[in-house]
């Protein structure tokens, strides 16, 4: 990394402050145990944990992953230990390793989200909550709350009511909607402090030899570089409509240049997901590359670059 002494790389989501804007993406780094073998977790902005549910869950049938051009499909189905074990084991591990922690939660009902928020209320050492209302790998499409403005609003209202002002709430939206700005509007007015854009796109791969879907769950979430332009578009549109709401951008970021594109579109933080599977140090590499690119372009603070593509358009 270039000389950073005069460069302020910090970012914030409401009152949660992070020393740099590069986070893991929920679902791609579990609760940080595997990545901790490669770098100190405190060196990145935050670890966003795999979305946790009320009860332990075994997930969807295998195979759960399929390669696609410039990306992959996953159909994990929110496998996880459940909130009690997560609080007892994963949070202490992250704290002991100096990580800033963003806990991602997912529910099958509005009440589930309320229960999860109640269990997490008062747990020390958390920076923010990511409310995942957009997992594509649920049995019932009706449970993809983020595809329905009323359901999205109900989830965020309940989490906000339970937490009061205790923790910033970052709501993760789905790109599988006609108007993502309309969904963003609902969740912001229900009390979201920030947005995570975007979750995976619902996709399918059919094996032409077996002539059946490759994934055990048939459909899966598409991630990786193939979806980056969709993410950049969503971030740009939402930042344009709500310039004061911080956005955690994600979707196929594999280099500092990819991260910069999202920052210019309006992201205040970047989550790195699929790239980590190929290179466990991708988060560190992208953190350093992005800093260098910002310094080369004359920025003295990270925040000056957020949404710059909008400003230059207006100036021109
Ligand atoms: C999964 O566990 O199925 C992925 C979670 C998500 O995409 O929200």
b/e burial code for range 265-278 (CB count within 10 A of at least 16 → b)? bbbbbbbbbbbbee
Query: E strand or H helix at 292, and its extent?
Result: helix 282-296
> What global pTM score does this model have?
0.97
Going from the Cα of 20 to the center of ligand 1, the distance in angstroms, rounded, reads 25
- CATH fold of 11-59+77-202+222-315, please? TIM Barrel (3.20.20)
- pLDDT tens over the chain, length 316 residues: 555 678 999 999 999 999 999 999 999 999 999 999 999 999 999 999 999 999 999 999 999 999 999 999 999 999 999 999 999 999 999 999 999 999 999 999 999 999 999 999 999 999 999 999 999 988 787 789 999 999 999 999 999 999 999 999 999 999 999 999 999 999 999 999 999 999 999 999 999 999 999 999 999 999 999 999 999 999 999 999 999 999 999 999 999 999 999 999 999 999 999 999 999 999 999 999 999 999 999 999 999 999 999 996 555 4
**Residue-level pLDDT at 5:** 72
CA pair distance 141, 174, nearest whole angstrom:
12
Query: Cα(39)–Cα(209) distance, rounded to whole angstroms?
Result: 41
Q: List all residues whose CB is within 6 A of at least one atom of ligand 1.
A: 27, 51, 76-78, 132, 135-137, 199-200, 221
Question: Token pair for residue 126?
Answer: 């958390």
**Alpha-carbon gap, residue 233 to 179, rounded angstroms:** 12
Peptide bond into 252 cis (omega under 30): no
Supply the pLDDT for residue 267: 99
pLDDT for res 46: 98
Give the mutation target among 72, 146, 200 for probing the ligand 1 site: most ligand atoms within 8 A of CB. Answer: 200
Hey, whose CA ends up nearest to atom 6 of ligand 1?
135
Catalytic residues: 135
| 134 Cα nearest atom in ligand 1 | 8
**C-alpha dihedral, 156 to 243 to 235 to 276, nearest 10°:** -80
Q: What is the DSSP string of 10-76?
A: -EEETTEEESSSEEEPTTSSTTSTTGGGTS-GGGSSBEEPPPB-SS-B--SPSP-EEEETTEEEE--
Among 79, 104, 136, 222, the mutation site with the greatest number of ligand 1 atoms within 8 A of its Cβ is 136
């Amino acid at each position: 990394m270039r000389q950073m002494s005069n460069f302020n790389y910090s970012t914030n989501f409401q009152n949660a402050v992070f020393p740099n804007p590069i986070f893991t993406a929920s679902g791609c780094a579990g609760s940080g145990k595997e990545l901790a073998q490669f770098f100190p977790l405190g060196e990145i902005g935050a670890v966003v944990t795999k979305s946790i549910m009320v009860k332990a869950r075994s997930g969807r049938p295998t195979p759960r992953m399929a390669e696609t051009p410039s990306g992959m499909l996953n159909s994990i189905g929110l496998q996880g230990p459940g909130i009690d074990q997560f609080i007892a084991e994963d949070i202490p591990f992250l704290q002991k390793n100096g990580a800033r922690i963003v806990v991602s939660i997912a529910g099958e009902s509005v009440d589930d989200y309320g229960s999860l928020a109640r269990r997490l209320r008062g747990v020390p050492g958390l920076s923010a909550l990511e409310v995942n209302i957009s997992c594509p790998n649920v049995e019932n499409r009706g449970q993809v709350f983020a595809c329905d403005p009323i359901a999205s609003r109900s989830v965020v209202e309940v989490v906000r009511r339970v937490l009061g002002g205790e923790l910033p709430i970052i709501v993760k939206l789905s790109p599988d909607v006609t108007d993502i700005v309309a969904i963003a509007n609902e969740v912001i007015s229900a009390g979201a402090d920030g947005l995570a854009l975007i979750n995976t796109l619902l996709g399918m791969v059919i094996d032409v030899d077996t002539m059946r879907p490759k994934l055990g769950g048939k459909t899966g979430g598409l991630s990786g570089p193939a979806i980056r332009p969709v993410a950049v578009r969503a971030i740009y549109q939402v930042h344009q409509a709500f310039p004061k709401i911080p956005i955690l951008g994600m979707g196929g970021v594999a280099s500092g240049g990819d991260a910069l594109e999202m920052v210019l579109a309006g992201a205040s933080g970047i989550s790195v997901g699929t790239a980590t599977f190929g290179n466990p140090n991708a988060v560190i590499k992208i953190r350093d590359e992005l800093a260098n690119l910002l310094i080369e372009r004359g920025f003295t603070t990270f925040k000056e670059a957020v949404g710059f593509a909008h400003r230059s358009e207006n100036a021109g």
